[in-house]
């Protein structure tokens, strides 16, 4: 009895120590992998679509290609489309029908505002809320709980690709929120890191592409500063 109790106390202490260590030393790095402090703290397209999220992640990567060369890989993503360039077998365990493409797929390049991209049969439906080729792209879930935004900008001849998730956790109790923090957050890093590396590898290996049309209606100095974005509320 005493041995069993000691084991339980030891396990509880170890789990508690890991939890405290994650919050104090690893969580910020998990939520901002690859991003500078400036990138993590600045405004991005789509921020106004979910003003008070419970969780924000900003992850980033440098790609040796132009924004025009990265853009096609970005807009073709999704189940039944170009996939997510991550671990397909994990995605497909969740029934997402992800098959990561190794080439640009012309049939998935013509996204438009208000197009709907279902995330599998039972997952959220994502509406194209912002689309400014080749600099900004934001999806907002129709249940109003998730905004996933991308920004591309040129830096020293390369492209910085930023990915930001803004997530609301409605009606979640303490246990569910702890599960999200200690399981889902690290899990999301594993998947998103692989996705960003997958986009980088694909964009860098391709031969130069013709320049994509640029949306001249947006001041791209404002884009980098995260200002003056014409957004709507999620309910509209």
157-204 per-position pLDDT tens digit: 999 999 999 999 988 788 888 887 888 899 999 999 999 999 999 999
pLDDT tens readout for residues 31-66: 999 999 999 999 999 999 999 999 999 999 999 999
Measure the CA–CA gap between 61 and 133, rounded to whole angstroms.
19
pLDDT category at 21 given cuts 50, 70, 90 is low
Measure the CA–CA gap between 102 and 13, rounded to whole angstroms.
46
**Strand runs (DSSP E) across the chain, as ranges?**
55-63, 116-118, 125-132, 136-141, 146-155, 158-167
Measure the CA–CA gap between 30 and 28, rounded to whole angstroms.
5
DSSP three-state, residue 128:
strand
- What does pLDDT average to over the chain? 82
Is there a contact between 165 and 147 (Cβ–Cβ < 8 Å)?
A: yes
Measure the CA–CA gap between 12 and 22, rounded to whole angstroms.
15
Report angle CA 99, 104, 109 to the nearest 5 degrees. 100
Q: In this structure, what token pair is assigned to residue 75?
A: 């807009």
């Amino acid at each position: 009895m005493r041995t069993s109790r000691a084991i339980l106390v030891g396990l509880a202490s170890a789990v508690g120590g890991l939890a405290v260590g994650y919050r104090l030393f690893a969580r910020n790095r998990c939520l901002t992998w690859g991003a500078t402090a400036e990138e993590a703290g600045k405004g991005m397209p789509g921020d106004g679509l979910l003003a008070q999220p419970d969780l924000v992640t900003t992850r980033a990567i440098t790609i040796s290609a132009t924004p025009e060369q990265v853009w096609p890989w970005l807009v073709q993503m999704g189940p039944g489309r170009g996939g997510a360039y991550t671990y397909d077998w994990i995605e497909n365990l969740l029934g997402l029908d992800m098959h990561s493409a190794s080439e640009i797929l012309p049939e998935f390049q013509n996204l438009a505002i208000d197009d709907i991209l279902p995330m599998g049969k039972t997952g959220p439906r994502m509406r194209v809320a912002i689309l400014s080729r080749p600099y900004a792209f934001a999806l907002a879930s129709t249940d109003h709980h998730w905004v996933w935004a991308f920004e591309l900008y040129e830096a020293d001849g390369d492209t910085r690709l930023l990915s930001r998730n803004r997530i609301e956790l409605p009606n979640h109790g303490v246990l569910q929120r702890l599960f999200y923090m200690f399981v889902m957050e690290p899990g999301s890093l594993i998947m998103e890191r692989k996705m960003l590396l997958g986009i980088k590898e694909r964009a860098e290996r391709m031969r130069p592409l013709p320049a994509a049309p640029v949306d001249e209606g947006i001041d791209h100095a404002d884009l980098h500063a995260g200002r003056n974005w014409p957004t709507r509320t999620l309910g509209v």
